Amino acid sequence: MSTVEPFDAVDLIRAKRDGHELETPEIDWLVDAYTRGYVADEQMSAMTMAIFLNGMTRREIRDLTMAMIASGERMDFSGLGKPTSDKHSTGGVGDKITLPLMPLVATFGVAVPQLSGRGLGHTGGTLDKLESIPGWRAEITNDEMFAQLRDVGGVICAAGAGLAPADKKLYALRDITGTVEAIPLIASSIMSKKIAEGTGALVLDVKFGSGAFLTDIDRSRELARTMVELGEDAGVATSALITNMNVPLGLTIGNANEVRESVEVLAGGGPSDVRALTVALAREMLALAGQPDVDVEAALDDGRAMDTWRRAIRAQGGDPDAPMPAAREQHVVTAERDGVLVEQQALPFGIAAWRLGAGRARKQDPVQHAAGIDLHAKPGDVVRKGEPLFTLHADEPARFARALESVEGAWRIGDAGDPIDDGGPLIADRIGR
């Protein structure tokens, strides 16, 4: 005998299309029915477009998030005997912060369960970067994860299939229906996974600018506020930093080269912006976990964070001393005149790295770990005619032409005293208690 469904998807689509609120039982049913295949992709596509156009109230977004959490398992780290804190970035160009951040925070006795993803399009994936380390593996069991959190203090790994399966299904649908940018859908997607993950504290790095998927700072603030509210409503101590993605972060864009730069930061060096953002996010994560007054920078400078990094890499089968993959081909772009680099747009450089092979156009595509871009100057730097501005790395020289095409007009050399077009300070705002 077939089960009688309590609602009809078409009625709910019409209601949201016409600007009405959906009730809690309606949202619970919709997410469950879509996860088990009763509501078709075509119907959920219509619903996501209605949400994109008409938005959702705070209560509706909370209900959507909780229904997505309820579609799968919830992890519980209370048995670890130490506080947990995690970070999520909305993604950008050269954003390798998770790599130095996890061992830095873990050094202070706060467990960091960093469930990460893969890159799609111009934003790189943390797991893709780490997989350029020989032997390192992203897929580990829950038992291995708990053991590493106890022994090392931190882990970066792939999320298991059991966490928020409704989100996995919905995320793939949004990607192909032009509804990725809907704030209720972004917020519920990110927060359903993070709340289900079971962390006690969460810091959000919400990007704005040319290399972010929300370019407008006000939209980024709205997203950050929505996610902080969802976290607080679920009992997770949550805050957000609004950070600048108008220029690439650091001097590397790719996979293996971003790992190298992360290791430089863990050795007490590295580009000033990567170090500054790593330190700021670490302070937030530690403060939310009950440690507001520790000397974060000292742990980078004295080698403690590096020791934790090496132990974490080894725990997942990686060799922290192995040489990183190097691309077979290089193409150097030099300055055409003396002056000051006044502009370097993040998005075109991200697209160029993707075209070189550092990213993927489809989920199933492989990435080339050695492909990418090394920047030799940042906005504000003095440059000399004939000196390198950036170097492209690829395994196939045929890739250089399209990569160069994408950065055409994306940087500019001016004169001393010209305004620097970098979008302002690295950290523009903080949202949270």
Dihedrals φ, ψ of 117, to 5°? -125, -175
Q: Which fold has domain 78-321?
A: Pyrimidine Nucleoside Phosphorylase; Chain A, domain 2 (3.40.1030)
Question: DSSP string spanning 120-145?
Answer: BTTBPPHHHHHTTSTT--S---HHHH
Architecture of domain 329-414: Alpha-Beta Complex (3.90)
The 3-state DSSP class for residue 392 equals strand
Residue 251, CA distances (Å) to 63, 89, 95, 244, 372 in order: 41, 19, 10, 15, 11
- Does the annotation mark 362 as catalytic? no
Residue 190 has pLDDT above 60, yes or no: yes
Q: Are 94 and 250 in contact (CB under 8 A)?
A: yes
pLDDT band at residue 363 using 50, 70 and 90 as cut-offs: low
Residue 2 has pLDDT above 80, yes or no: no
For residues 213-225, average pLDDT: 95
Residues 89, 132, 189, 239: which is the catalytic one? 189
- Does the annotation mark 221 as catalytic? no
- Does the annotation mark 174 as catalytic? yes
pLDDT band at residue 70 using 50, 70 and 90 as cut-offs: very high
DSSP 321: T
Question: DSSP string spanning 255-274?
Answer: SHHHHHHHHHHHTT-S-HHH
Q: What is the pLDDT of residues 36-59, one digit of tens each?
A: 999 999 999 999 999 999 999 999
Domain definitions of the chain by residue range: 9-55, 78-321, 329-414
Closest CA to 208 of 89, 378, 124: 89
Residues 62, 129, 174, 207: which is the catalytic one? 174
CATH number for the domain formed by residue range(s) 9-55: 1.20.970.10
Residue 94: the pLDDT is 95
Q: Are 98 and 274 in contact (CB under 8 A)?
A: no
To which H or E segment does residue 44 belong?
A: helix 41-54
Residues 128, 167, 273, 374: which is the catalytic one? 167
Residue 117: the pLDDT is 80
**pTM for this one?**
0.94
- Does the annotation mark 193 as catalytic? yes
- Does the annotation mark 363 as catalytic? no
